[in-house]
Structure 1
Amino acid sequence: MEAITFRLAEIELAGLANFSLSAPIKNNKSVLLFLHGWQDNAATFSTLWQRLDADFNLVAIDLPGHGLSQSRSEDNYYHFFDYIDDLHQVILQLPVKSVCLVGHSLGAIISSCYSAAYPEHVEQLILIEGLAPVVEEPALAVQRLKQGLKSRQQYRKQRGRRKARVMVSFDEALQLRANVNGLPTACLVPVVERATVEHDGKWYWRHDHRLRCDSLYRMTLSQAQAIMSSIEVPIYSIVGSHGFPILRDNPQQKYGIKQFSQVVVAGGHHCHLEQPDVVSDCIQGFISPQRD
């Protein structure tokens, strides 16, 4: 995988690909576009790429404020729907008309919503530990708005006096991340390498602190159902046996999904890091028949 850059209307996104963006793709292999989860980065899929590289055209991005990508402007925050706009701008720069989206967590939700809006650009959806937009009861709308605004106020108050967290070594950063995710450090080396920067022998996190600000609004269940039920492409859900239980609670019926299949693999929310052989085999098995 080689480093690439996507120049969007407002910012630049860092990415990785095993093909050139500036020339037509001459093989008949599917293009897999990977979208990571909240406070992760493109490298979360690196162990999958090692197993998929020979059979697919692969491309991944760091979402704004994550990894090596630029942060949003100082007068902006991280609205969920803006990620869908970012994805659309990325896809329009690829040398193909349609892709297979592979999303984890937040990346899976972005992928689902994008597929509903732009079905002509998506062939299949592979969603790892993520599916539909996060929903809330309409009665909580005012509480959600107030909570979101309060989180922004807290960020602004702390911004002037906040000091970046200093870590004395890469190993310290790696261990901190492993503790948060409940994973062995060996699973997270590529992710933490892309998530940190070293200055004068000390290590710092790259991500934008505004990512932690709460959302100002969330969809209702009926809105999420309207989105998910309109998706025309096949959806393949890969979930961890110890991941989010709600993802295994009959989502096809809950959201009225048309073409849906699901597999449960051993592991938790980052099951693709815990079981890269199994997950890559699942991806291979789902996409290949679709192309035949």
Structure 2
Amino acid sequence: MFTFLKKISPLTRCRYTVRSIVQVTADPVKQEVHEVTIPVPWGYVAGRWWGDKKKQPIVAFHGVQDNAASFDTLIPLLCTNDVPVFAIDFPGHGKSDHLPAGIPPHYGDVLVFLRNLFKYYYTDWKKLTLIGHSFGSSACFAYAALYPDDVAQLICIECAHLRLASNLPEQMKKTFEKTLKYEKSANEIPSYCYNELVTWFYKGRKERLSLESCKVLLTRGITESKINKEKYHLSRDASVKLDALGQFSVDFWNTLASRIRAKTLIIEASSGLYRKGSIRSVFLSQLDTLSRNAQKFDHVIVEGGHHVHLDDPQKVAPIINSFLNPLMTDLLVWAFVNVHTLMHRKWWGDPNSNVRPILAIHGWQDNAGSFDRLIEQMKLDRPILAIDLPGHGWSSPLYPTMVYHEVDTVLVVRRIQKHYNWDKVTFLSHSLGGVTSFLFSSLYPEFVDVVINLDLLKPLEEDLQKRAEDMGPLIDKIIDLMKTAPSQTGWTSEELKRRWIKGSGNSLTEQSAEILMKRGLKEIKPGRFIYSRDCRLKAWQLQRFELSENLKFAKNIKCHFLLINATKSPFYKLFSKNSNEIINILKENAKTFEMITVNGTHHFHLNDPDLVGPIIVNFLNKVNQRSKFIE
């Protein structure tokens, strides 16, 4: 029996109903259960399929550090009119294989994973019905917003679709550092006898779910020790404990909520995650936005904790049963993976010198040759290390199904710093490299003495509505590029030069294009070439920071900072529009801050090094006089 209570909310436009559950009953439905594995480049993704494997299922996604067994007690109580249910272990969870080590988790990669699953693996599935718990519901929520025409029904249990990061830079830094830590300790996994492991797992969850529920999750969550057959360890990838990079802001989640058209059911636990504090008002605001746009909307509160669907499925099943209509309609697995790439670089000066080099980082789709003319012009008595970022120039591409994220270049720099044992980093950065140096100097202010950014100060911001509209097609483009094979016929070098110049928005001169082509072309047959860079780089960035977040980053920057802008660059108008607050913060917090504007295109440092070289040398000399930073 249900008791219906009208929602009392400070949000006057709120028009949804909250159901308080008094008593419910449900009888288990017997279904055949199949273990399913889906091949992916790094191994397999696993799951449990309840019911007829020939029919399109309802698809269920668990929370972080859980697995598909999260739904073991709930699914037998669902009355789905013979529609099967497919509960999937996210990569690195349950019985699914771990991703190759080395790259931190990214929220956007999960959406690429889902898109591959739904569009390219199970190609005959049409309208989707999605059930998610916690992080799994967050992913389903975002997918339903990015692809509103593809999702018919959305069921979110304790939905985790918010981010209230009090210190985003520190959070990102922690994720990078733990990624490095987990790489080193990958073979040092503690093992326990079964009862000890159950107790440890239960206490690790801070007793937020029952002991019996812990045992259910461990049916897919443990692996026998290779050393001692009587002991076990958790099978999940340690990296799933990390805060994912690129999580969406509160404002962007609100924008996404306005795009969902699916029939939507939100199930909230009375002792769940969103009942108290400032997070409560944010949660209700998002539900209000969702209620005004979804085809159907219901918000139900049940007695229980965050894992109420697992601890007390008899309270949740009738709500879902009443929501699902009899016309159940209408899922690829790829994902976010990593290999340790071979990094190529150009070292100007004596590599055996005791003097720490300046680190030069090029822009998106360029390479280390971007600095050739500038370095020759400056004639510094200090070494310069110019690198090819992963997938650029002569450096190895990332794993075939991996997504390129600009924030990952921060981890690239951290690896380089640790490899050479530098106590400080001095940056000379162009375009994307400027994003790298801005973020690195914010996350690791203790390790940076000088930043010199050419034509890009910080990560770009984007209108939230436009970002929401563009993200779905962008994910499709990324997946299409993953499947794009290199040309077998190629082009002449002249043809590629013209394409490169045009692709730069005519920012490059012919001479500059030819310099980049030295590291940017690969000969596949006599006189025929292709680009050496990874074609996936043609897709723009999934992650975007908002101005409020960039302001937080700027407050952490404590080094000497030089910014050189170009009047004919496409970024110049963007810079003039929304950078004043950042500049004021840098003027206040950085050791020194200078900004100079020159007449030139985006690649002014390569086209006309005589224009910019003296500015950089003069700045370095002034810094050297003030702090004697050259070792």
Task: Tell me if TM exceeds 0.5.
Answer: yes
Q: Give 1:32's aligned residue.
A: 358
Q: What is the 5 A alignment of 1:165-244?
A: 166-168=490-492, 170-181=493-504, 182=506, 183-201=508-526, 202-243=528-569, 244=571
Instruction: Provide the rounded CA distance (Å) in 2 between the counterparts of 1:89 and 1:218.
Output: 23
1:84 aligned onto 2:410: yes
Instruction: Provide the rounded CA distance (Å) in 1 between the counterparts of 2:561 and 2:446.
Output: 15
Tell me the amino acid that sits aligned with residue 490 of structure 2. V
> Is this contact kept in 1: 2:520–2:533, CA < 8 A?
yes
Instruction: Provide the rounded CA distance (Å) in 2 between the counterparts of 1:226 and 1:234.
Output: 18
Instruction: Provide the rounded CA distance (Å) in 2 between the counterparts of 1:9 and 1:89.
Output: 14
Instruction: Provide the rounded CA distance (Å) in 1 between the counterparts of 2:467 and 2:497.
Output: 38
Instruction: Provide the rounded CA distance (Å) in 1 between the counterparts of 2:468 and 2:551.
Output: 22
Tell me the CA shift for residue 250 of structure 1.
7.0
Q: Give 1:251's aligned residue.
A: 579
Q: Deviations over 1:178-215 (max 9, x none)?
A: 23332321122221111001132111111111112343
Q: Deviations over 1:16-49 (max 9, x none)?
A: 112455x4x335xx63211000100000110011
Calculate percent identity across the aligned residue pairs.
23
SS at match of 2:344: strand
> Is this contact kept in 2: 1:136–1:221, CA < 8 A?
no
1:12 aligned onto 2:337: no
Tell me the CA shift for residue 264 of structure 1.
1.1
Tell me the amino acid that sits aligned with residue 597 of structure 2. V
SS at match of 2:407: helix
Tell me the amino acid that sits aligned with residue 38 of structure 1. W
Tell me the CA shift for residue 159 of structure 1.
2.1
SS at match of 1:93: helix
Q: Give 1:159's aligned residue.
A: 484
CA 1:68–1:9 in structure 2 vs 1: closer, same or farther (change >3 Å)? same
> Is this contact kept in 2: 1:137–1:221, CA < 8 A?
no
CA 1:179–1:45 in structure 2 vs 1: closer, same or farther (change >3 Å)? same
Tell me the amino acid that sits aligned with residue 163 of structure 1. S
CA 1:234–1:31 in structure 2 vs 1: closer, same or farther (change >3 Å)? same
1:116 aligned onto 2:454: no
> Is this contact kept in 1: 2:373–2:609, CA < 8 A?
yes
CA 1:165–1:127 in structure 2 vs 1: closer, same or farther (change >3 Å)? farther
Q: Give 1:274's aligned residue.
A: 607
Q: Give 1:98's aligned residue.
A: 424
Tell me the amino acid that sits aligned with residue 159 of structure 1. T
Tell me the CA shift for residue 154 of structure 1.
2.7
Q: Deviations over 1:124-176 (max 9, x none)?
A: 111101111112344556435423322233334x525x6357112x2332233
CA 1:233–1:142 in structure 2 vs 1: closer, same or farther (change >3 Å)? same
> Is this contact kept in 2: 1:33–1:60, CA < 8 A?
yes
Tell me the amino acid that sits aligned with residue 180 of structure 1. G
**Alignment length (residue pairs):** 278
> Is this contact kept in 2: 1:34–1:101, CA < 8 A?
yes
SS at match of 1:13: coil
Tell me the CA shift for residue 227 of structure 1.
0.8
* TM norm structure 2: 0.42
